[in-house]
Chains A and B, each alone.
Chain A
Amino acid sequence: KQEVTQIPAALSVPEGENLVLNCSFTDSAIYNLQWFRQDPGKGLTSLLLIQSSQREQTSGRLNASLDKSSGRSTLYIAASQPGDSATYLCAVPVGGGADGLTFGKGTHLIIQP
């Protein structure tokens, strides 16, 4: 059974810092890994999807890496801004079919102005 762990559970940093969020998964036989952000009271916004054959994916100030063999992914946020404050979730497919995603419990990020 796939399990996803995110470290740290919460993080508070001053504006402008570069930061790294960590995600690990127990079963390395994944098709892809997806990073989301969730704002309070809102839905999930997809940030990046990394295919199992990829090492990293970039979107603006966000860079996600994937090391499938070690069961790890990181989300790097450059030059953090107060608007980046949210909960960040990583997720991997449950199985080989249309079984949905297994989520981590998220990292609650606060960027101090």
Chain B
Amino acid sequence: DTAVSQTPKYLVTQMGNDKSIKCEQNLGHDTMYWYKQDSKKFLKIMFSYNNKELIINETVPNRFSPKSPDKAHLNLHINSLELGDSAVYFCASSPWVNTEAFFGQGTRLTVV
């Protein structure tokens, strides 16, 4: 009965590979997000997706692309992985914009 779930929890991959992280929420929320937590534990918004509108943080490389097959899912695809992509990625959701956000457990991505 996990509210926001991400898979996998850990992901180790080589440079240059393409990988995906899945996120699902069973809260019936309209808005979903992806955040990146870097090695210094600083959390930064990457994307938000609300009612089929995608808002992209301008600092995110275009190798990163979110895909939402339906309102309950927002997957993160990453192409041509680089060492600097190593981080913990968090999915989150909220009922609507500017409402309480709920986070998944995170996916620790390690690029070697």
| A interface residues (Cβ-Cβ under 8 A, vs B) | 31-32, 34, 36, 42-46, 49, 87, 89, 91, 93-94, 96-103, 105-106
Contact = CB atoms under 8 A, between A and B. Distances in A.
18 contacts: A32-B98, A36-B103, A46-B100, A46-B103, A91-B101, A97-B97, A98-B31, A98-B50, A100-B45, A100-B55, A100-B57, A100-B92, A101-B43, A102-B45, A103-B42, A103-B44, A105-B41, A106-B41
A34 B43 CA distance: 14
A99 B42 contact: no
Given A46-B101, A93-B98, A101 B41 contact: no
Contacts of B68: none
Given A91-B101, A100-B48, A100-B55, 17 more contacts: A31-B98, A32-B98, A36-B103, A42-B105, A43-B103, A43-B106, A46-B101, A49-B100, A89-B43, A93-B98, A98-B31, A98-B55, A100-B92, A101-B33, A101-B35, A101-B43, A103-B43
Chain B interface main SS type? strand
Nearest to B47: A100
Contact of B104 (A43, A98, A102): A43
Contacts of B45: 94, 99-102
A43 to B, nearest CB: 4
Q: For B40, B50, B92, B98, which residue has the most chain A Cβ atoms within 10 angstroms? A: B98
Contacts of B4: 43
Interface of B: 4, 31, 33, 35, 40-45, 47-50, 53, 55, 57, 90, 92, 97-106
A53 to B, nearest CB: 13
Q: Which 9 A-B pairs have the closest CB atoms?
A: A100-B45, A98-B50, A31-B98, A44-B103, A98-B97, A43-B105, A103-B43, A49-B100, A98-B48
Contacts of B92: 44, 100
A66 to B, nearest CB: 15
A9 to B, nearest CB: 11
Contacts of B105: 42-43
A67 B100 CA distance: 19
